[in-house]
Amino acid sequence: MSRKMIYPLFRGAGFTQEEMQRPVIAVANSWTEVVAGHIHLNKVSEAVKAGIRAGGGTPMEFNTIAVCDGYSEGFTGMRYPLPSRDLVADSIEAMVQGHADLFDGMVCLCTCDKIVPGMLMGAARVNIPTIFVTGGQMRPGRFRGEEIVVFDLARAYRQFQDGELGPEEFLEKVGSACPGPGACNVLGTATTMACMTEALGLSLPGCATYFATEAKGMRIAKESGLQIMKLVEKRIKPSEILTKEAFENAIRVDMAIGGSTNTTLHLPAIANEVSIRIDFKDFDRLSRETPNLCRLKPNGPRNFSELEKAGGVPAVMNRLEGLLHLEALTVSGKTVGENLKGVLVRDDEIIRPIDRPYMKEGGIAVLYGNLAPDGAVVKMSAVHPDMLVHSGPARIFESEEDCHKAFDNKQVKPGDVVVIRYEGPKGGPGMREMLMITIRISESDLNKSVALVTDGRFSGGTAGLCIGHVSPEAIEGGPIAVVEEGDIIEIDVPNRKLNVKLGDQEIKRRLQKWTPPKPKVVKGFLALYAKTTSSANKGAIREIPKK
């Protein structure tokens, strides 16, 4: 007789003996009342649980945390979202492994930037049959007859500062941009990671791009509840789906849509959980081979919502069919190739044909040179063509806050290369996004003359010549730590180069004199994170210190 059938605490929780005889399915839910990305997931979970019960299973729901990047932008709270990815993964491990032999399968419900990859890491780690339901996208808002999305507010704020919008008009526009629940309605990290989940094969076709407020999401949730029972019956685990080929498929989709640079952190971290190595070189190799087919905000004028109308991720994969590993297994129980049969592309401009791309290469480039020996990342699909090759004097800032002060005082000049250091995974700690700085550049008259280089990272909504993830980071003695005011930095995106115009001996001499600054955080979770996290080029994964 199974232990879970007779254990009295299940009786105390209200479960019957009959329920405990059925397969028990964990429903890991990131629902909170804090932000729009998660506010609706309690309703999604009810649909999932209805599907599980209809399939003959017993659902048991638990929650994880969900920190919102968007709310943290520009503040010290931005140190927490990336580290919270590990907390999400750890909570799934603790709940599933801590209740040994209880759960036969799992459904993960998640929406936003770090929660989706955190749950993917957790699911890979515990390796029981699992299916994902991502929470859908927010509908665009409307302001005076025009569609607007959350990142349109950067321009609105500039218009308010310049007197083009009055206070009441500005507040009206702010109140219109987020009309309901769902992931931020641009091709940011949240929507990109939903696309990656589907491309990896861990959510059902069509899951990544539906609107959070439409009935399609409830149907997908119920179908996923039914499907997890089939995965349990066939004992199909994440390790059978998360193959090297699946990761390559996902990266190709990422390159084709022009997704967030944060995928270069998340996909390697997920792969690490199944002992597969994915690194910067994989991204750059596949980017060189995969054309960019979509131009969605912030890479172009179209809203992310139009990707759903054009056919979503299945339509993108249809375009890429000749480049994909079609034999890769998915949670539908079918291979990628089988899922693509009958898929149509409904708009040739939203998702261009592979022989008529927006760019011959993909959306992300990895740069190397004496400033980034282990690599740095740029979303080249969002860079103005005139800025793909640039050189200029370094303007050095030891933190994001110091850089803001320089902009406030109009000390950043055309041609400058803004360098923000000590914002990496260890040095931040937490690798803050520099979105507010990128907005100050892109929404000003400096947008075609100023570049940004940092060991921090960027929002998926970043546009312009913004180079992040510089590795090694400054706190680890990377060359970025010893760049001085006025040093000439040379950037060549097409040829993948990032150099400071200094000889090797001069860089070595400066590094010998360099001493790291004191840690910014000395206690609590972030202090522990700083001691255990790896470099950005490894995905900022946790590394257990060797004795």
Angle between the N-to-C axes of helices 81-98 and 263-273, in degrees from 0 to 180, rounded to the nearest 10: 20
Backbone dihedral angles phi then psi of residue 143, each to the nearest 5 degrees: -130, 110
How many Cβ atoms are within 10 Å of 523's Cβ, its own excluded?
8
Sign, CA torsion 535/537/538/542: positive
How many Cβ atoms are within 10 Å of 281's Cβ, its own excluded?
13
Question: b/e string for 231-242 if b means 16 or more Cβ within 10 A?
Answer: bbeeebbbebbb
How many Cβ atoms are within 10 Å of 348's Cβ, its own excluded?
12
CA 313 remoteness from chain centre? 16
CA 485 remoteness from chain centre? 32
Write down the catalytic residue from 45, 381, 459, 535: 459
CA distance 228 to 251: 25
How many Cβ atoms are within 10 Å of 81's Cβ, its own excluded?
28
CA distance 514 to 32: 45
Gyration radius of the chain over CA positions: 23
CA distance 209 to 135: 9
Q: Which residues contact 161 (CB under 8 A, 6 or more apart)?
A: none
Told to judge if 459 belongs to the known catalytic residues of this protein, a careful annotator would answer yes
CA distance 465 to 387: 7
Backbone dihedral angles phi then psi of residue 394, each to the nearest 5 degrees: -75, 135
Helix (H, G, I), strand (E, B) or coil at 428: coil
Q: Could you tell me which residues are beta bridge partners of residue 366? A: 377
Q: Could you tell me which residues are beta bridge partners of residue 148? A: 141
What one-letter code names the amino acid at 101? D
* Residues annotated as catalytic (active site), given as ranges: 459
